[in-house]
Amino acid sequence: MPAPYLRRIWLDPSRVPDPEAYPFCLPFLHDDFELSFDRPITIIVGENGSGKSTLLEGIAALAGYDDAGGGKGYRPVDHSQAAEVMGGELSEALRASWLPKITKGWFFRAETFFSVARYLDAVGSTSDFLSYSHGEGFLRFFEERCQRQGIFIFDEPESALSPSRQMEFLKLMHRMEQSTICQIVMATHSPMLMAYPNARLLRLSKYGLEPVIIEQTDHYKVMREFCADPAGFVEAVIEE
């Protein structure tokens, strides 16, 4: 079966323990929250704090991945020091339809990459990810992990990638799409990654998730203004 494998998720209000408590108090998580995946690649944009990471953590937990990053069966992250992750709680109240259920794949978060890489090096992966620079290690890791069937969740993969490495990442996304056996769910602030063709681009706001085109995103509008006049743009921002 070709991707997407995860077809739909929705909130089951009867399973929400406390609607006032995080993460259920997030504005987009009202009773009728649902998200359909109609393409192999889904890209979510939204302002910091809108709940993108929590949503991705919830999806990762549904797939059986550690909600702090990793794959099924990997518990590489020392949770005592991990940033607070709420996706596990969210996933308890989410329902999902799969065609078929896939638990192979990976949940990639920039902030836990080094924990994950150290773990993989320790358990004898063929690549020595830590002997590369930050960004090179990321790309090697993606290349090794993303060639098999699975659902791959990326939370801001651009954070360690220069623009030319983001171009490499676009090529990787293309190879994954062409394979027809990879589903990608990605949150990003990078206009370059948002522009990936054939992806479903969704904006997460307090009103929920809505389809957008890149030209409508703040990310694109701001960067376009900046590129037109970098010095003038920054001066205006500072003087605000």
Q: Footprint of another protein on this chain (CB under 8 A)?
A: 130-136, 139, 160-162, 164-165
Q: Which is nearer to another protein, 28 or 113 (CB)?
A: 113
Provide DSSP, 113-169. HHHHHHHHHHTT-SS-GGGS-HHHHHHHHHHHHTTSSEEEEEE-GGGG--HHHHHHH
Least separation in angstroms between residue 133's CB and another protein is 4
The residue assigned the tokens 């978060």 is: 109
Least separation in angstroms between residue 159's CB and another protein is 12
Angle formed at CA 108 by CA 176 and CA 2, multiple of 5 degrees: 30
Q: Which is nearer to another protein, 33 or 119 (CB)?
A: 119
Q: Which is nearer to another protein, 161 or 185 (CB)?
A: 161
Separation CA 181–CA 35 (nearest Å): 20
Least separation in angstroms between residue 162's CB and another protein is 5
Angle formed at CA 66 by CA 65 and CA 70, multiple of 5 degrees: 80
Q: Which is nearer to another protein, 30 or 140 (CB)?
A: 140
Least separation in angstroms between residue 138's CB and another protein is 8
Separation CA 129–CA 141 (nearest Å): 7
